[in-house]
Amino acid sequence: MNLQSFAMGLEFGSTRIKAILLDENRNVIASGGHTWENRYVDGIWTYTMEDIIGGLQDCYAKMREDFEGKYGEKLATIGAIGISGMMHGYLAFDKDNNLLAPFRTWRNTITQVSSETLTKAFNAAIPQRWSIAHLYKDILEDVSYVKDIAHFTTLAGFIHWQLTGNKVLGIGEASGMFPIDSEKCDYRDDLLDIFADLIKDKNYPWTLKELLPGVLNAGECAGYLTEEGAKLLDPTGTLKAGVKFAPPEGDAGTGMTATNSVRVGTGNVSAGTSVFAMVVTEKTPKLHKEINVVTTPDGAPVAMVHCSNCTSDFNAWAGMFKDFANILGVDISLGKIMDVFFEQALAGKADCDNIVAYNYYSGEANVGLTAGVPVLMRKPSADFSFANLARTHLYTCLSTLKMGLDILIKEENIKIDRICGHGGYFKAPVTGPKFLSAAVGAPVITMESSGEGGPYGMALLAAYMLDKAEGETLPDYLDNKIFASCKTVETMADQSDIDGFNAYLTNFKACLGVEKAAIDAIGE
């Protein structure tokens, strides 16, 4: 086998780290995974360094074992590797590469003041989860370590740095740290200057540009696996140094790639622990706090609606029903429980019959919440059937997203002709696409790879770096060489489902005060 033609993508998701290996024909031939969970420590959603490095090694080891078990050949090299991770977040280091503060994930909603201040100063939306909001929060609070920062990055950037020695990011991931100029494919100089003015009285021994990772475009080489990196990734010593690396990307960029949604006019929704919609636009939308402007992996502007909460509460309910089944002596898998939820939700009433749920495990900035408490409520007269309960939980996964998309559709006049769905929410072939279609009011496309999501998209970006012809763009490469013969399914909701989702959303909005009261009463 020609290992030099293989491409691998490895992504750090919120609950699972997954690696995928593609052969020379760009078929998935091996995979590996590692389950993990974020920790809530001292008011911070985080993962430890032991979590990160241990998860990296276990995930890669399982993929390598899968390949070697199938083909009887040692995975001594790979043509190209790409690292992806949960977009945004904050990892800050000093000149000796010491971590200065616990890793903060995208899930944290502790930067409201800095987020609002920067949004006003920049006249550009700076969400709470963006890396620059975390840095500026600590500047405003005069946290002592800030003067010692030599570099800050995201999770994907950190892993890439450990494996290659290069402090760089793909442009899509970089756009979630600090605003990007899509014309020159780098950070916006005007906003760097504004930031410098904001902090000039601090007299720090650094400029922001010095702290930020370098920006690379899709298809560029982002470095090579070092001897130390090879030992870190594969402690068995099987994998040798010298492997070429693609620019590290965030899960937003890999999701766009995995669904062939990087061309202007296309869009996708990624739904798992969090949920976000990406619509590639010709021009940058006006300022709305609910709409983030990021980029594709090749630098095109993207209107992003990001919600921190999606399936976590649904997963918890499925776990509770599994526990109940076990008490009754019924041995049933969690996967089967989830399958039943998706199947029975189709039998629920289109508007959920006055049952409302809030899936807020953590804060949700789009509705002004800095913390979260899952809540379920219903009218006494509601038909509290399992089917209606299941539909409620699956509707609520998309409700906050729908509120943001309505701004794009109704205020920015962006027409969504169809949208591609991917992630765990769409593993059920009918329910997930149908409910998203009801929320968006447009057809939803799902692909054979819809459940793979990020790691597949990252592997494709690594493959693009290896395969691209002179002048071949990423959209053309995906259209002509990857998805030309891909099987897709188009789902369009009935008008009754669209009306039902809108009726549910009316109740969802009306009862937000109850969610806020619950947070005030019992905290996070």
pTM of the predicted structure, to 2 decimals: 0.82
- The contacts of residue 406 (CB under 8 Å, 6+ apart) are none
- The contacts of residue 520 (CB under 8 Å, 6+ apart) are none
**β-sheet bridge partners, residue 33:** 18
Q: Are 14 and 51 in contact (CB under 8 A)?
A: no
pLDDT of residue 524 exceeding 70, the answer is no
Rounded distance between C-alpha atoms, residue 88 and residue 474, angstroms: 23
What confidence category does residue 449 fall into, taking pLDDT thresholds of 50, 70 and 90?
low
User: Residue 424's pLDDT is what?
Assistant: 83
DSSP 196-214: HHHTGGG--SS-HHHHSPE
Q: Which of 299, 271, 290 is nearest to 127 (CA)?
A: 290
What confidence category does residue 452 fall into, taking pLDDT thresholds of 50, 70 and 90?
low
Q: What percent of the chain has pLDDT over 90?
A: 80
What CATH code is assigned to 260-307+416-491? 3.30.420.40
Q: What percent of the chain has pLDDT over 70?
A: 98
Rounded distance between C-alpha atoms, residue 305 and residue 414, angstroms: 13
Alpha helices in 381-453 (DSSP H): 386-410, 431-440
What CATH code is assigned to 3-250? 3.30.420.40
Q: Which of 14, 12, 20 is nearest to 457 (CA)?
A: 20
Rounded distance between C-alpha atoms, residue 389 and residue 147, angstroms: 51
Pairwise pLDDT comparison (233 vs 409), residue with the higher score: 233
> What's the gap between Cα 202 and its chain centre?
34
Instruction: Locate 504 and state its tokens.
Output: 């549910």
Instruction: Locate 334 and state its tokens.
Output: 């969690």
User: Residue 290's pLDDT is what?
Assistant: 83
Rounded to the nearest integer, the mean pLDDT of the chain is 94
| Tokens 């690594």 found at | 462
Q: Is there a common fold for 3-250 and 260-307+416-491?
A: yes
Rounded distance between C-alpha atoms, residue 286 and residue 302, angstroms: 12
- The contacts of residue 210 (CB under 8 Å, 6+ apart) are none
- The contacts of residue 290 (CB under 8 Å, 6+ apart) are 305, 366, 403, 404, 407
**What is the domain partition of the chain in residue ranges?**
3-250, 260-307+416-491, 312-403+494-522
pLDDT of residue 450 exceeding 70, the answer is no
Residue 378 has φ and ψ, to the nearest 5°, of -160, 155
What confidence category does residue 247 fall into, taking pLDDT thresholds of 50, 70 and 90?
very high
Residue 43 CB neighbour total at 10 angstroms: 10
For 175-195, write each residue's pLDDT tens digit: 999 999 988 999 999 999 999
